[in-house]
Structure 1
Amino acid sequence: MINRRYALLLCALGALLLVSCVISLGFGSARVPVDVVWRILLNKAFGFGEVNWSTGQEHIVWLIRVPRMLLGALVGAGLALIGAVLQAVTRNPLADPHLLGVTSGATLGAVIVVLHVGEVIGLLTLPIAAFIGAMLSMLVVLAVASRNGRLESDRLLLCGVAVSFVMMAAANLLLFLGDHRAASAVMFWMLGGLGLARWELLAIPAATVLLGLLLLLGMARPLNALMAGEQTAVTLGLNARNVRLKVFLIASLMTGVLVSISGSIGFVGLMVPHIARRLVGAEHRRLLPVCVLLGSVFLVWVDVAARTLIAPEDLPIGVATAAIGGLFFIGLMRKR
């Protein structure tokens, strides 16, 4: 019965994601009716239907909004996944790539490339720099938070916030000292957004999120043990330090890739895992797929709000998630 309920939940969330993706394509500064959106999608994907829409509508839907919607779904899924596993290995319900300094480190790496280095090795320069920044930031947090070889969750969160401030201060200093014309472009990474979405850019984040999901699902048993406590992990014969290192490495890689394309989008990894645990509990084989689906749905609709609230301008999506996540954070603090 439990497995059947879980399967029904996954089907319901999958259907909700599909419907959300289709409906969201109609919103923006130029509204497109849902039936036109659906016919364009069928025509482009399968060659069905008669072309009875304008070239402008086709361009808006297929070349602009579909890549943006897919990138939003991938980023939401990835950030929710990262947040869930970070909360498990740190045993801290407030852990999040944004609060632990990972996002700020990736942002600093992206800023350095854009302002001072350039695309030395082509399109891979930015994701690699963001990954290096995320990894260095995480290593600094771990080094500062460790005490006598132990990792205390409260110290980890405080150190993450402190390192995040330092990384963002460095990024702001580079912006201030750099070319002011280039600095305006860098604000994209500071505030977060999906405006760079293009069909040719989707392969890397899609592969990263899929690979991250498979690797973390394979680590579900160690994650469950760490969530239960250090002694439980030792009793089961697990090397907690190695498990944490692997998780931090995967989380840093995923964060670096996502930040390099979407900028700094915070609090998705804080909110979504808590909602998912309310639905399916804390067992990670069940939790992680639900986090992926919920994170995708959440960011797809946040992007709709970002496109419509101050149309024809786009509201930076990081501003919207920060506002929602800040209120969620306050609620968690009051409750716990």
Structure 2
Amino acid sequence: MPPVTAAERDRAPARRRSGGRTAALLVVLVLGGLVLAVVAVGLGSVRIPPDIVARILVHRLTGMGDSGHWTLSQDDIVWNLRLPRVLLAVLVGAALSTVGVIAQAVTRNPLADPFVLGISSGAALGAVAWLVLGASVFGGAPVGVAAFCGALLALLAVTGFVRLTGTFSSSRLVLAGIVIGTGFAGVTNFLIFRASDHAATNSALFWLLGSLSGARWDQLLLPTVVLVGGVVAVVLLAPRLNALLFGDATAAALGIDPDRTRLALYVVAAGLTGTAVALSGVIAFVGLIVPHAARLLVGSDHRRLAPVAAVLGAVFMIAVDLLGRTLMPPEELPVGVVTATLGAPVFLLLMARRSVRFGES
């Protein structure tokens, strides 16, 4: 074992302090998210006080508490309507934020996100084809499989085009993603335009705006496994993401196969994006904004950035969905509309700050 240098000994306390700050930040974000979730479950067309919401949740989860403190209607609203929606917001927010972290690391481009690489457009095409043409076209497979296939197809098309037409580079990858993603979006719009079933057309159009209103318990088990597994995989691959930031030559010198690592990350990104899009539709800006906000808090070391971005994305999505449900009652704004409206000025503000420099730790 090589001897530890003086510089490494000096850096060790700083790493421990940084790790402690990250752990404390995660605890604060989780606790804040729990409080926000209780508030979100209680707000809506029928308002339920936070203490009643907490009592219902404790009773449902542990069997403790006196059910005489709330009505059956309140219990149904909290447990069957709003809690699945909040949990879906957590899953989708964490997934899209994690894909944004992957995209920015793989391309070494601070503007990359699932949309720039064409992943979301591919997932949208698969899901809309399922909605408009019917499940039979996909052999009876669920919409999530169709969305995953579309996302993976888009990624393979983008990376394959770049490798076949010239030297692989982050700028060429981003440009190819924009062009191919636009083409996929055009095919998606064509399918909607040519659809003969007006109900399916309206469903696809509303779904393209992004919404969490369809959350149900019976639809959450498998997506939860996929999304949580994908986020955990990215956290475990964080050291490899750090290596990719410095280029393929550096990664190879560190004993990491950049092509295999990139392929694994593509599959994870496609799985996360496809599942999220199948559940909630197309939601813009989450994968772009949240990683930058997390980078402001903990720097660019992916061992800290990946978990913080996932938790921050979950909290952000709860807040955005709550805003969409309560901003214009009794109407409900689609989540994608809210994120698009909020995302542009927030991103410009982040870009205007000097501390937001890609690769800064």
- Shorter chain as denominator, the TM-score bin is over 0.9
Q: Which residue number corresponds to residue 131 of structure 1?
A: 148
1:33-85, Cα deviation, whole Å (9 max, x unpaired): 11111111111111222222222222111110000000000100011111101
Quick check: which has more Rg, 1 or 2?
2
Bigger mean CA deviation after superposition, 230-239 or 216-225: 230-239
Q: Which residue number corresponds to residue 71 of structure 2?
A: 54
Does structure 2 conserve the Cα–Cα contact (< 8 Å) formed by 1:81 and 1:213? Answer: yes
Q: Which residue number corresponds to residue 245 of structure 1?
A: 263
Q: Any stretches of 5+ residues in structure 2 without a counterpart?
A: 1-16
Equivalents in 2 of 1:284, 1:54: separation in Å? 46
1:189-211, Cα deviation, whole Å (9 max, x unpaired): 31111011001111122111221
1:149: Cα distance to partner? 5.5
1:241-292, Cα deviation, whole Å (9 max, x unpaired): 2211111111001111111111111111111111111211212222111111
Alignment partner of 1:91 is 2:111: no
1:171: Cα distance to partner? 1.0
Code of the aligned partner of 1:14: V
SS at match of 1:25: helix
Alignment partner of 1:166 is 2:205: no
* Matched ranges for 1:1-336 at <5 A: 1-51=17-67, 52-118=69-135, 124-146=141-163, 150-178=167-195, 179-331=197-349
Code of the aligned partner of 1:77: A
SS at match of 2:304: helix
Bigger mean CA deviation after superposition, 102-111 or 161-170: 161-170
Aligned residues: 335
Code of the aligned partner of 1:227: L
Code of the aligned partner of 2:307: P
Code of the aligned partner of 2:148: F
TM-score of the pair, normalised by structure 1: 0.94
Does structure 2 conserve the Cα–Cα contact (< 8 Å) formed by 1:189 and 1:260? Answer: no
Code of the aligned partner of 1:16: G
Equivalents in 1 of 2:163, 2:350: separation in Å? 25
Code of the aligned partner of 2:330: P
Residues 30/301 of structure 1: CA separation in 2 closer, same or farther (3 Å cut): same
Equivalents in 1 of 2:120, 2:19: separation in Å? 36
1:165: Cα distance to partner? 1.8
1:207-233, Cα deviation, whole Å (9 max, x unpaired): 112211232223222211111223321
SS at match of 2:142: helix
SS at match of 1:275: helix
1:106: Cα distance to partner? 0.6
TM-score of the pair, normalised by structure 2: 0.88
1:118: Cα distance to partner? 2.0
Equivalents in 1 of 2:164, 2:346: separation in Å? 30
1:331: Cα distance to partner? 4.1
Residues 330/166 of structure 1: CA separation in 2 closer, same or farther (3 Å cut): farther
Identity %: 44
- CA RMSD after TM alignment: 1.8
SS at match of 1:318: helix
Does structure 2 conserve the Cα–Cα contact (< 8 Å) formed by 1:220 and 1:285? Answer: yes
Does structure 2 conserve the Cα–Cα contact (< 8 Å) formed by 1:75 and 1:296? Answer: yes
Residues 151/332 of structure 1: CA separation in 2 closer, same or farther (3 Å cut): farther
Bigger mean CA deviation after superposition, 229-238 or 251-260: 229-238
1:188: Cα distance to partner? 3.2
1:98: Cα distance to partner? 1.9
Does structure 1 conserve the Cα–Cα contact (< 8 Å) formed by 2:104 and 2:112? Answer: yes
Residues 19/333 of structure 1: CA separation in 2 closer, same or farther (3 Å cut): closer
1:334: Cα distance to partner? 5.5
Code of the aligned partner of 1:208: V
Bigger mean CA deviation after superposition, 192-201 or 44-53: 44-53
Equivalents in 2 of 1:99, 1:325: separation in Å? 15
Equivalents in 1 of 2:275, 2:46: separation in Å? 30
Does structure 1 conserve the Cα–Cα contact (< 8 Å) formed by 2:96 and 2:286? Answer: yes
SS at match of 2:42: coil
SS at match of 1:66: helix
Q: Any stretches of 5+ residues in structure 1 without a counterpart?
A: none
Structure with bigger RCO (C-alpha 8 Å, 6+ apart): 1
Code of the aligned partner of 1:270: L
SS at match of 2:85: helix
1:277-327, Cα deviation, whole Å (9 max, x unpaired): 121121222211111110000000000011011222221101111122222
